[in-house]
Amino acid sequence: MLQQYIKKILEAPVYDVAVETPIDQAAFLSKRLQNTILIKREDLQPVFSFKIRGAYNRVAQLSESEKARGVIAASAGNHAQGLALAAKKLGIKAVIVMPQTTPEIKVRAVKARGAQVILHGDAFDEALAYSQKLVKEHGYVYIHPYDDVDTIAGQGTIAMEVLRQHSGKLDAIFVPVGGGGLIAGIAAYVKYLRPEIKIIGVEFEESACLHAALQVGERVVLSQVGIFADGVAVAQIGEETFKVCQHYVDDVITVTADEICAAIKDIYDDTRSICEPAGALGVAGVKKYVEQHKVHGQTLLAIDSGANVNFDRLRYISERAELGERREAIIAVTIPEKPGSFKAFCQALGKRNITEFNYRYHTEREAQIFVGVQTGIGPQDKAKVIIQSLQKQGYAVTDLTDNELAKLHIRHMVGGHTTAVDNEVVYRFEFPERPGALLRFLNKLGQRWNISMFHYRNHGAAYGRVCVGLQVPLNEREQVPAFLEEIGYHYWPESENPAYQLFLG
């Protein structure tokens, strides 16, 4: 298997359109993690993503009759841009089917390179099914974004560059994983020439299809796929890519959205470049690997796979980066309702920076405050230390740092309790963000019970996130789950959430 890929990788004509990208040392991150951290800068490709390599290599292998039929692909954006540029270079018609949740910057970029764009479905797999329908109807040649030998070989040229550019000690390469084309190509080349180097895949925890497949020894289809890291929002690892990964990938790490946001900040701090969520997976994986295995003095390389991110999504990324790095604690604190309480509380915190302070009158005796506090990155200044310090000084403290309801909604809703609402139950929802999505959500939700509380905030993320209070009589509570299932959006019950109970319930 490996010999077949080595030959194809060495013969891949990717440099007709791609460039050899540099490897940067992440000086700040290296010092902090006490390892040498390297970043392979695929965000510097002409289409700001590694995908141009595989797309061009696949199209270059087409016969003249196949080129005349035109090409089509389903893509969340990066493969689309790569294929559009490859087709333009070779004078071939290109049609791209993209999920409706694809960032606008990627849609515009594909159109600018001369391809026809069709928006269909909420995630990659729906776009894929529609593209296959068009293949049957129009005779296009389908160019798969990852599950093709020539596409995999094109991506494998990254590994060829890595081993040529860095001939010294290299302990592990951390590779973002969606459908598996990138990691399969890198693993095939590296394991043939330098089998001692670990190949470690990194997946977003809400689209970890390779991790799921390796656990059971066969490809599985995820029931749900998170689209925050839209470049890797794939429900099933590729058939050909899994054959390679099964034998030549050493480990797979999953990371959270907050950890991805923190990695984006780390990459910016060291390179002054901004990558997309999928592009930061490698660095997020490096950090988690070092934390879990307590390694020191190793040389670890992460693939920065792309930089196609909507500008308005950076607001959300910035908000969550501090939490992902554990540099901020979110806490609820009860203080006496009397003059001087605020000042006394601030003195109790000492010289730590307060990032957020929300207050609402509760009773004549006490008040609840919602506080964000910078914790720093040293091991001696974490949230637990702050909480213990406040408790010793007599304050009642609830840690909300990992509370999604608190981070997404309550911090914007601190308005006090009400006695005018009874039978309230609270749910948190997520739905794919697009024009008109909120109205459609309300039309579905408001058909049965009165809405007593509602919070929605559009911050440029791929999700619409809503906190809802419904007035449901006790004898109808059992009907709520079935009703919400019919709506079809992800939801979480939050009535017992301490953040709700403390500030709104």
- Cβ atoms of 284 and 277 within 8 Å: the answer is no
Alpha-carbon distance of 456 to 23, in angstroms, equals 41
- Cβ atoms of 28 and 291 within 8 Å: the answer is no
Alpha-carbon distance of 274 to 41, in angstroms, equals 11
Q: Given the residues 40, 51, 106, 265, select the one marked as catalytic.
A: 51
Alpha-carbon distance of 451 to 454, in angstroms, equals 7
Alpha-carbon distance of 62 to 329, in angstroms, equals 55
Q: Count other C-beta atoms under 10 Å from residue 258's C-beta.
A: 22
Closest CA to 241 of 132, 123, 153: 153
Q: Are strands 463-471 and 424-432 parallel, antiparallel or unpaired?
A: antiparallel
Please, what's the b/e burial string for 324-342 (b: 16 or more CB within 10 A of its CB; e: otherwise)?
bbbbbbbbbbbbeeeeeee
- HSE at residue 373, side-chain half, CA atoms within 13 A, is 26
Tell me which amino acid residue 470 is: L
Q: Are strands 450-456 and 366-374 parallel, antiparallel or unpaired?
A: unpaired
Q: Give me the residues paired with residue 301 across strands.
A: 38, 173
Q: Given the residues 49, 75, 207, 305, select the one marked as catalytic.
A: 305
| 305 is an active site residue | yes
Q: Residue 237 in 3-state DSSP? A: coil
- Cβ atoms of 281 and 204 within 8 Å: the answer is yes
| 452 is an active site residue | no
Q: Give me the residues paired with residue 243 across strands.
A: none
In the DSSP assignment, the letter for residue 49 is B
Alpha-carbon distance of 60 to 87, in angstroms, equals 9
Closest CA to 40 of 19, 22, 54: 22
Alpha-carbon distance of 37 to 321, in angstroms, equals 19
In the DSSP assignment, the letter for residue 340 is T
Alpha-carbon distance of 388 to 41, in angstroms, equals 42
Catalytic amino acids? Answer: 51, 305
